[in-house]
Every structure is written in C-alpha cells, then in structure tokens.
Structure 1
C-alpha cells in the first residue's frame, strides 16, 4: 500500500477496531481506553504501512498547526541575527515544529504580519529584531505575541529574551583590568541601547576594581547614531589620545568593525598590540576577529543561545520565560590583550 494513501480507516479495517481507537493510539490520547496490546498492534501496523498523520486535518480539529510564527523586524538580512533563526529553527525541528517567518517594513505593519501568520493557525507567535532594542508594539499586537526575542516590550508586559549587555561590558572591562590595564579608553556605539548598557558595565568593572573612570576616555566611535554608514571618529580619537603623555594602555571597542579601524589607526602611530595597547571588543565577528594580527579578544554575542532558549520556551520544553531574561555573552580569548 502506498505510503501517502494509508489512512486511519485502513489501519482500523485491518485490525478490526474503530477509527477512534486507532486515532487515540497514534495521537497518545489517554482519554480513549484500550488494552496496551491493542495500542502496540496499532502502532506497529502504522509503522509497517508507513502511515503519515494528516497534520492539516489535525490542525483543523485542534485549532492550531505544528507551526511557530516569527514576526521579524529586519532580522533575516543581518549576519549576526540570522544565528538566532538558525538555532531556533534547528531546535524547533527536533520538537516536530516548523518555523514560519514574516518580515515587517517596506510598508508592511506589525499588525499585518501577525494577521498573515494567524491565518496559518500557529501554536504561538514571537517578535524578533536584528539588534537589541526597546520595541513599542501596537496595542492590538500585545495579545498575539508570546515572546520577544533580542528586544524588549516598551510596556514591560511581554516575556523577553535579550543579551546581557551590561554584564558583558563589565566582564570584558574586568578582563582588561585583570591583565594590568589601568587607563582604558572605550570607543562606544552612540545612540544604541547596547552601547549605553555596556558603558554601565564598563563603569561597574572600574568601581569593583577601585579605579576611577576617566570620562574623557569614553568616546563615540562615529558621529551621530552608530551605523555602518556613519562617519567614523576612530582615527581622530587615536591621534588625540596618543598625541599626549597620558596615553591609554587599552581600548575597548564597541564592536569588531570598530576594532578593525583601531588596529589600522594604531599602526599609523607605530603602536604595538598588545605590548603598547591592549584591544578588546564585542561581537566575535569571526571573519574579522580571527584574522586580525594579533587575533582579537572579543565578547561573542549570545544569538545562538537566544535562539535555543526561545525554542525551548515556545515548545513548552523548559522553564517559562521571565519578563526580561538576559542571556550571557561568551568571552573569546585571543592574543590582543
């Protein structure tokens, strides 16, 4: 019998039981009583015949499909944030669930994206962003979103998974201090929530070590809000900071792209890394960090861990999400400190 043609009726007919009994045995419905021997015979025959459940029919009966929907705010196009989706999708597949993603922007609103997903009867819908931010969702979307990923709900009412930015700032700064660095400059990412939180961690680490923060060493890496298109200030900062007697002995960079510029600027001034200046960063963009000379010590963004944790929550396999659950970064030690 062809695999695609096997039905509950076929199995019931061969075993002389009701369709309801077959359905209960294959779905694990404990409310349908039967002998264990009957249950095993049904399952064995289903395997032998290659029975495949009709998920669409089951979804229509139950009101949900084995689908998790994602409303993505620019997520799919970003190299780091796609790690969230890759880990999320892999974890969901192991639980027998499929992931459907729809993007906002280009004229499509959040409400429209949610409505599009709801037509597929997903078990739940999450909202994900390409970088850590606070999101002001439309009021109508509040009841439809089960989880915020890489972002926080501005009302503080939805469970959220976010990177532990402040702790990451403290950890990497603490590592520089542990290595004996006392005057640490920070070329931060202006206008971004991640930058503000990492700066708090930078100050926390100094306070824990009993070192006063020299505020003149905290500088924006770009003019205006950070983006790949914003004008860099790195070469100006390096020229000014290393043109006088009170030079920094370390530079913490807002991300690996900033670190790449810092390496070039320091070389112009004949400064050696890490002998004269230690360098550390955030992101672990491997094609940059591992190829710099010397390779860059950096804090790896926790996107894969966020994806796995999101899948665990939405599949109902782990502890429920807290209102804001921070996922820790990972220190990747290389040779720049």
Structure 2
C-alpha cells in the first residue's frame, strides 16, 4: 500500500488541500517551511503521485507528447528532445515521443499521442523541412520543431540556415580565402537556404556570388547518407584544375569527412593549402578529424527549450516562424 494525501495530512497536521498544494505546485501563499516539511513527510512515507487521479481532476496528464518524424533515429537531432525534456522537468512534466514512419501517417500518430491526454503536443522533424498537417490537427499541435507547417498555421522553430551559411562564408573570407567552393546537399530545404546565404556573403565581400561553384555531394536528386557520393571525384577535379579552391564549404560534417580523405589522396594539406568548414557540429566526426573541423552547430537543444516555453504558455503569435541562430565552433581546419 502506498501513502495517500490523507496519510501525509494527518502526519503534518494540515488539510489534504494544503498537502496537494505543496506537492503539486499550487498554494503560492504557502510558506516555504510548510511546503518543505510536507515534501519531507511525503518522501518519508513513500508517497507517489497518482497521475491518473490527477489527470481526472485537471483534464490532462503531466506529459508533453512529441510526434517524432524520424527524429529519434538521428544521432544529433536528439538534442531537441534533450532540450525539451530538460525544460519540461522544471515544470514537473515528462516527455514521451512516438515515431512517424512510412507505415503510419501523421493523423494516426497524433491520435495515438492524444490518447495519453498530454498537456501539450509538439511535432519534431529529423531535418529542416515543410510539413503539411491535416486541417483537423492544426489546433492540436502546439509547436513545430526543426520544421514549419506548410501554411504557417502553427508556431514553428527552425534553424536559420541562410544566416549560418552567411556567417561561415564570411568567416572563411575574413581568414583570407577568396576561391570558395560549396559541396552542398541537393534536394533539401537546408541546402537551398544555405546556398542563398553562401552566395550573399560572397557578393557582399565583392566576390562573384552568382558565379560561385556549388556542387552536389551525391549523385541522386535528394541527399542521403546512402546515396552514391560525388565528393572524391569533385575534389580530384577541383584540385587538378587551373583555378583550385583555397576553401571548401561542406553541406554537413559527413561530407567534410569525405573531403578530408579526398584531399589527402591528392596530397593537399588542411588548412595550409585548403581550408575546410561545414555544418552540424556532429561531435563524433568534427572533433576527431585531423585537424579538428570548424563547423556551424545546429541550434537543436535551444529549439527544444524554446518549444517547452511555448507549449507551457509562452507569448507567441499563432503561425509565427522563429529562426534560431547556429553557433560557430572554431577548430583548426580554417
């Protein structure tokens, strides 16, 4: 048998209502001494909150549900969940996720999440994309994370891809690099936005932004890690030509890893001959390359924390799209 609110109230000499307020965040006028004493008695008696009963009283469980569009399969996008969970815990909420896959559509997964009566629901994607929510669920999902709703009807948090590409390109230019090639991620929204920032930074520096070389990292129209790579052939051709680059910007850290290997095969030194920079800051790759890779860290954890604030009552305009900045991580490749 577990202890009840009545057991705690009797031991503390207070009402059940006072005990409930102390343990469940109510009664702001209660003294801290009383609150602490009740919590100590509850711990001594082994009290465990009856979440089912609490949910019946308030209409929701102390949960934040996440519809995860392949998110939990990504080694670095899980930072979104970590940021969300850390912020939720300060409000005594737990986070759970249900994965969206090819066999289950958005509507069925949202309905499954709703069965748990969470306080709020978020939609999070593994990579920056546009998501068309079914009309009936626009008011159900409180925030989109790492993606935006197709018709901008839900508050969305996305990485500032264009700003990040502008920043890292400007960093390369400030380091004295003038002939910069971008090996980009074809078919992805992130790649499209980063190319715009790349060209803009070159133009602002008086270089030929419109004519800058942007090459696809893979043979397929849409980038994936499993697509046949074009990186080795690109690097071999670039370094043997009359206008070899003095910097290569990579669409992500995996592409940068391939660029490192290809440059070594043609006896080119990093950063003496060619600087290399990238996006993502996937630690297992970026910090272990030789030399360690300068890259732009995605704002995944910050998106998770901000999403929790929004879901728990943050003041935002419905449909607002917030662009969160990347962080430049300087290492030795530039």
Structure with greater Cα Rg: 1
Moved more, 264-273 or 212-221: 212-221
Provide TM-score, normalisation by structure 2: 0.90
Deviations 1:19-54 (A, max 9, x none): 4565456656569xxx968x9768735642545443
Asked if 1:233 is matched to 2:230, the reply is yes
Q: Does 1:264 align with 2:261?
A: yes
> Is the counterpart of residue 48 in structure 1 residue 41 in structure 2?
yes
Contact 2:12/2:41 (<8 A) preserved: no
**Count of paired positions:** 329
Task: Please report how far the alpha carbon of residue 244 of structure 1 lies from its aligned counterpart in structure 2 after TM superposition.
Answer: 2.2
Gapped regions of structure 2 (runs ≥ 5): none
Q: Is the 8 A contact 1:11 1:42 kept in 2?
A: no
Q: Work out whether residues 186 and 252 of structure 1, in 8 Å CA contact, stay in contact via their aligned partners in 2.
A: yes
Q: After superposition, where does 1:1-337 map in structure 2 within 5 Å?
A: 4-8=2-6, 10-11=7-8, 19-20=16-17, 23=20, 44-45=37-38, 47-50=40-43, 51-213=47-209, 215=211, 217-224=213-220, 225-316=222-313, 318-320=314-316, 323-337=320-334
Q: 1:11 to 1:186 in 2, by over 3 A?
A: closer
Deviations 1:268-288 (A, max 9, x none): 222111111111111112222
Unaligned runs of 5+ in 1: none
Q: Are 2:19 and 2:38, in contact at CA under 8 Å, matched by a contact in 1?
A: no
Asked if structure 1 preserves the Cα contact closer than 8 Å seen for 2:200 and 2:209, the reply is: no
| Bigger mean CA deviation after superposition, 297-306 or 190-199 | 297-306
Other structure's SS at 1:229 match: coil
Q: CA deviation digits over 1:142-181, x for unaligned, max 9?
A: 1210000010000111001111100000000000000111
CA–CA distance in structure 2, aligned partners of residues 201 and 186 of structure 1: 11
Greater shift, 58-67 or 47-56, is seen at: 47-56
CA RMSD of the aligned region, Å?
Answer: 2.5
- Measure, in 2, the Cα distance between the counterparts of 1:36 and 1:164: 44
Local SS of the residue matching 2:97: strand
Identify if the C-alpha distance between structure 1 residues 42 and 297 changes in structure 2 by more than 3 Å, giving closer, same or farther.
closer
8 Å CA contact 1:188, 1:253 repeated in 2 = yes
